[in-house]
Amino acid sequence: GAVVSQHPSRVICKSGTSVKIECRSLDFQATTMFWYRQFPKQSLMLMATSNEGSKATYEQGVEKDKFLINHASLTLSTLTVTSAHPEDSSFYICSARDAAQNTEAFFGQGTRLTVV
Amino acid sequence: GIQVEQSPPDLILQEGANSTLRCNFSDSVNNLQWFHQNPWGQLINLFYIPSGTKQNGRLSATTVATERYSLLYISSSQTTDSGVYFCAVDTGFQKLVFGTGTRLLVSP
């Protein structure tokens, strides 16, 4: 299957600082990538759709100024959590599909963010 | 929006037992995937199954799109099968809506 790489896998930051998470499709091109958030013992919730070369589309209730998304190339999307607070602590995971095949979605390893 | 419910929410099995996990969805879908989330959070793709039946080793899945459900069968369960199983559906915009999950524990 296709490989999606996400970094870092784990990060601890202080309140008020910003954290950048990278999501790369290693062996295919992805015009669209997706960012999800998962709280402990809960399901995954879609935060936003990252579109290559254009603005991201955010789900209802997700603050676009807090969660900045950039999709500068067909293989890289980044999520920046700005001015992080302890309530932003969560598991963030990205996904992508091969634009040429448009079949199943593959997921990165996820990033566990802890804001102290 | 679409609702995706999974049952049972929790399942405890003895190693070697068989089990069936269910995923019900409230609207028509373009595709459906099953995932296994391991203890480190990684989502492992199990099946891409918008309709019909597929098998992969001890696992198989069936989706009946007209009746809006999918089943995941695990046979001869092993301790390494433990984790959370999610189904996720795509209603046509490529983004996946995840189900509520089934937490499986297989004991030796």
Tens digits of per-residue pLDDT, B16-41? Answer: 999 999 999 999 999 999 999 998 99
How many Cα atoms sit within 13 Å of A110 on the Cβ side?
A: 19
What pLDDT is stored for residue A102 in this prediction?
65
Is B33–A105 a contact, with Cβ atoms under 8 angstroms apart? yes
What pLDDT is stored for residue B28 in this prediction?
93
- DSSP codes, A8-49: -SEEEE-TT--EEEEEEESSS--SEEEEEEE-TTS-EEEEEE
Smallest CA–CA distance, residue B43 to chain A, in Å, is 6
Residue A72: CB atoms within 10 Å: 10
What is the phi/psi pair of residue A39, to 5°?
-90, 160
Does B1 lie at the interface with A, CB-CB under 8 angstroms?
no
What pLDDT is stored for residue A103 in this prediction?
79
B43 vs A46, A102, A107: nearest CB: A107
What pLDDT is stored for residue A52 in this prediction?
87
Does A32 lie at the interface with B, CB-CB under 8 angstroms?
yes
